[in-house]
Amino acid sequence: MNIKLTSLISLFILNCTGLFAQQSKNPNILIILSDDQGSLDLNSYGSKDLATPNLDRLSESGVRFTQFYAAAPVCSPSRAGLLTGKYNYNAGLFGNVDIPDNDPEGKDGMPTEQITMAEMFKSGGYRTAAIGKWHLGHTPEKLPNGQGFDYFFGHQRGCIDNYSHFFFWAGPNLHDLY
């Protein structure tokens, strides 16, 4: 089965010793969500026409999922599914999060009562970080630091130019790197 997720690459890094220099008995955990990547787009999953040596090296030294279900075919609900462990409808996100200009009251986004894996890891003594694309809400309580992440570096919206870091979908074309 060829699973497609939409948008850009996101990294969710949990308890990364290099970032936090924390001594712990708990193992370091790195979760990579790569949007717009099919299940056969890495050599470690059978691709013969792409060169993916670094991702293949990660695959060899970690856990490689061979059966996985994307919670949704678009990015925001798929991310909500990964972070909550629920189907996107049960996580309270039915489609992509709108831009803040179209949602001035901040109602769009993953509901704050949802428990994320970051919150679960924090309760277990982990330090948490999200690096990459968020696209799960724009109000402070719906941003990564309000959803259990100690550290965030990335962009809040979808459709970002990776070189200028400007949101470019339908305007306003503003800088979106935090």
DSSP run (H or E) holding 21: none
- Active-site residue identified among 16, 75, 155, 159: 75
**16 carries an active-site annotation:** no
Phi, psi dihedral angles at 128 (to 5 degrees): -130, 150
Helices (H) and strands (E) in the chain, counts: 4, 4
Coil, helix or strand at residue 12: strand
How many whole angstroms separate alpha carbon 71 and alpha carbon 93?
A: 10
**Torsion-angle region of 57 (φ positive above 0: left; ψ -120 to 50: alpha; else: beta):** alpha
**135 carries an active-site annotation:** yes
15 neighbors 26 (Cβ within 8 angstroms): yes
From the CB of residue 44, how many other CB atoms can be counted at a distance below 10 Å? Answer: 14
How many whole angstroms separate alpha carbon 130 and alpha carbon 114?
A: 17
- Active-site residue identified among 135, 138, 155, 159: 135
| Residue positions annotated with a catalytic role | 75, 135
